Structure 1
Amino acid sequence: MSSEVASPKAVDYVAQLTPYVPGKPIAELEREYGVSNVVKVASNENPLGPSPKVVDYLQQMLLHPQELARYPDGNGFVLKNKLLEFYSAFNSTRNSTSRSKEPLQLSVNQITLGNGSNDILDLLARTFAGQNDEVIFSQYAFAVYPIATQAVGATAVITPAKNWGHDLDAMLEAITDKTRLIFIANPNNPTGTCLSAKDLLNFIKQVPANIVVVIDEAYEEYASSVDSPYVEQYQSMLNVLYDFENLVISRTFSKAYGLASFRVGYAFSSSVIADLLNRVRQPFNNNTFALEAAAIALSDQNHIERSAALNWQGMNYLIESFTQLGLDYIPSAGNFICVNIGTECAQIYEKLLYEGVITRPVANYQMPEFLRISLGSMDENKRVINALQNVLGKLSTDK
């Protein structure tokens, strides 16, 4: 018998996965680089944080530590009903001229809750795709799509991008009898590109009914804001959910709602799809405080309006600054923007870390010359531009 100790062997498609790489945490930068007063603009977080109402709730919950010993509501009753109440009046409560004034007809059994919207994407892949199946998504699409696809042994079909965004005609042409799932982020991460409601609706109409179409609307609150330059062309596909049994809309509380650490995502779909997703969803995948915080956050739309207004103020400032610096960028409908730093992008990213500024390199998205920069407070935005000017200036001098 061999003296070698056998090690566990994963299935090939899992063993070959490249894991998701998050933005560098502030504590890690302080620890490794010895810097302080760090600005993190790497993970598309809300610089205002959560609603003050959520903060008040959490402070009150400190008085009830016994709740820590109890399991959360595995069905998320309160949050689901708050979502239903909010989105049933969706068109009349959001100031978008691109929306119909008719209330949406939704039911609780159309909702799936996730541990962040990433959990929803993973559930969709596990439910509808497997070995010998194909999943379509675009070049420069969110990194979780290929991870979720490969984790279930399905084949990723990556269509070439068009102007850094989705080429919907190319995606339609890529459909075969093996296609089970299509992922589209609108706005797209990391490029920020935005599809018009007309084009996206026309696309969904042409997809065979046996293929699940997932519209990832993680940044909807920014694109649909009254301050957004995209408000006229952008429209959530929630408005047409009842017309398509194969349509799934995923959302998150991690971005505009400022609850990234709580990990709360959700999806609207047909009741048939929601039932299937809830069969594979882990029990208690949302904790008690996250469920309640999300429900409270949903009730404070003034906070969302303030967050979106700050975002677009900051976006205008960054765009003006990039123009002055002679840097190209990709126009974005989200709370981030990709700027073309050039062939020395990796070096510049590293030098920015020593300036106490954490941005996000996107070489893993086949965009090696770009940095993705999240919108922060105006003070943070100015700090980012000043640091970038310093680094570029020193680099030019060294040459």
Structure 2
Amino acid sequence: MSFAFSAKPLRTLRLKSLQDMPDFSNVIPPHIRKLVETDQSKPLKQSRSAAKPIALNLNENPFGPSPLALKALKSAIEEVHRYPEIHALDLHEEIAAFHGVQPEQVLITAGATEFLCIIARVLLASGLNAVTSARSFIVYKLATQVTEGKLIEVRTRDNGYDLDAIGAAINADTRIVFISNPNNPTGTLLTAEEIDLFAKTLPDHVLLVLDEAYGDFAAAFAKQRHVNYSHALDYVRADRNIIILKTFSKAHGLAGLRVGYGIGPARLISVFAQARSIFSVSSVAQAAALAALHDAAHIRTAAQNNSEQADVVSSALERLGYEIPITWANFIFCDVGTNAAGFAESLQSHGVVVQPLGMWGAPNAIRISIGTPEQNHLFLKAFEAVVQSVRS
């Protein structure tokens, strides 16, 4: 069969004015039009009083990346004209060995957020649902909405997860339970024993997604406080319906490179791998993450600073009359007793950026990342100034 092409010129579409432009919004599915705009999707308004504000809003490592990661990154950058290894094999094998699991039980993604979106895309559709707690990681809601699935958010208990309420909310249409441990943004923890009891109650059609993005900080706190944090890897080895999410964005200090991973039974990982984007993790990100994985000293430094400075900041805020939940992560949850967005804007005018939590269902609360001692000192100085203004 052959095709004949007309030599006639294409007709040009001429519009009289901008009002004649076609409205594309009518072809966008309604569930996409309803998506929540996150604070992170908006550009940061730069304070005129500070050329570079102190960023305490995204829970980053204030000491930056591992020196070993920087060295590996600089070496790898010479090969950026090459596509990255599609399966990140070297990093893949090292992560598996690091956690004592098999390589086929690991999937590397562009941050843990990509894995969250993959899970929702694979398991959810119109009429199906996921369950989590109110005041939990906002991406659970965003990932669910894109699929036309429904997110059931149950009440919190003591600023954390009410596992009994979550269990009661599960129904025949539930496919996922999202648990952030420690919880973002409240910093609360579920112990290994609490997770054990809850996991045993889950029906076979439900996947438990255990988000341990802040696990390095929680493990350090747990050791100090004599608490069992997590042995979720035992669930993977027992072939339970679980995915454990990890990231290089927090304690490892590689947030800008976007590397995360999930660990789970091979039968689940193989399914989610089919929905992953090709080449989603760059070659420089793979190289930096591989080096950072084994820099235990850098993690210890970050965790030690976090433990010490979390106490400093929490105590200072409590002296000002605020009730601060004990944190197990690298941030603090603070109910400021007034509109958080306005409070955060006032802090920004003093050169400090924090995260208001209106979108998390806490309109009077902010999340404060733990910085260096100097950053925390400047934050507390700015906080006191704003409080005096609010109370006067």
TM-score, normalization by structure 2 = 0.91
Q: Say if 2:49 and 2:350, in contact at 8 Å, map to a contact too.
A: no
Aligned partner of 2:22 in structure 1 is: 5
How does 1:336-355 map onto structure 2 within 5 Å? 336-355=331-350
Within the alignment, does 1:201 sit opposite 2:216 as a pair? no
Equivalent residue of 1:180, what SS? strand
Would the alpha carbon gap of residues 226 and 334 (structure 1) be closer, same or farther in structure 2, given more than 3 Å must change? closer
Deviation at 1:6, TM superposition (A): 4.3
Aligned partner of 2:94 in structure 1 is: 82
Q: Aligned partners of 2:154, 2:222: CA distance in 1, in Å?
A: 32
What residue ranges of structure 2 are gaps of 5+ in the alignment? 1-19
Moved more, 276-285 or 220-229: 220-229
Q: Aligned partners of 1:383, 1:187: CA distance in 2, in Å?
A: 26
Q: Say if 2:38 and 2:359, in contact at 8 Å, map to a contact too.
A: no
Equivalent residue of 2:274, what SS? helix
Within the alignment, does 1:158 sit opposite 2:177 as a pair? no
Q: Say if 1:115 and 1:285, in contact at 8 Å, map to a contact too.
A: yes
Equivalent residue of 1:373, what SS? strand
Equivalent residue of 2:235, what SS? helix
Equivalent residue of 1:329, what SS? coil
Deviation at 1:111, TM superposition (A): 0.8
Q: Aligned partners of 1:236, 1:358: CA distance in 2, in Å?
A: 35
Q: Aligned partners of 1:134, 1:250: CA distance in 2, in Å?
A: 20
Aligned partner of 1:250 in structure 2 is: 245
The total of aligned residue pairs comes to 373
Would the alpha carbon gap of residues 4 and 60 (structure 1) be closer, same or farther in structure 2, given more than 3 Å must change? closer
Q: 2:123 aligns with which of 128, 151, 154?
A: 128
Would the alpha carbon gap of residues 310 and 269 (structure 1) be closer, same or farther in structure 2, given more than 3 Å must change? same
Aligned partner of 1:53 in structure 2 is: 68
Q: Aligned partners of 1:13, 1:230: CA distance in 2, in Å?
A: 44
Equivalent residue letter for 2:40: P
Aligned partner of 1:101 in structure 2 is: none
Q: Aligned partners of 2:42, 2:147: CA distance in 1, in Å?
A: 28
Q: Aligned partners of 1:230, 1:270: CA distance in 2, in Å?
A: 31
Report sequence identity in percent: 29
Q: Aligned partners of 1:298, 1:378: CA distance in 2, in Å?
A: 25
Aligned partner of 1:95 in structure 2 is: none
How does 1:256-335 map onto structure 2 within 5 Å? 256-335=251-330
Over aligned residue pairs, what C-alpha RMSD do you find?
1.9
Q: 2:55 aligns with which of 40, 60, 71?
A: 40
Q: Aligned partners of 1:245, 1:296: CA distance in 2, in Å?
A: 31
Q: Aligned partners of 1:170, 1:395: CA distance in 2, in Å?
A: 37
Would the alpha carbon gap of residues 344 and 143 (structure 1) be closer, same or farther in structure 2, given more than 3 Å must change? closer
Deviation at 1:132, TM superposition (A): 1.1
Would the alpha carbon gap of residues 226 and 394 (structure 1) be closer, same or farther in structure 2, given more than 3 Å must change? closer
Within the alignment, does 1:210 sit opposite 2:205 as a pair? yes
Q: Aligned partners of 1:170, 1:195: CA distance in 2, in Å?
A: 14
Would the alpha carbon gap of residues 23 and 372 (structure 1) be closer, same or farther in structure 2, given more than 3 Å must change? farther
What residue ranges of structure 1 are gaps of 5+ in the alignment? 89-105
Equivalent residue of 2:184, what SS? coil
Aligned partner of 1:71 in structure 2 is: 83
Deviation at 1:229, TM superposition (A): 4.6
Q: Aligned partners of 2:379, 2:223: CA distance in 1, in Å?
A: 22
Q: Quick check: which has more Rg, 1 or 2? A: 2
Aligned partner of 2:35 in structure 1 is: 17
Q: Aligned partners of 1:296, 1:231: CA distance in 2, in Å?
A: 30
Deviation at 1:133, TM superposition (A): 0.6
Superposed CA offset, 1:274-300 (max 9, x none): 011011101111000001110100010
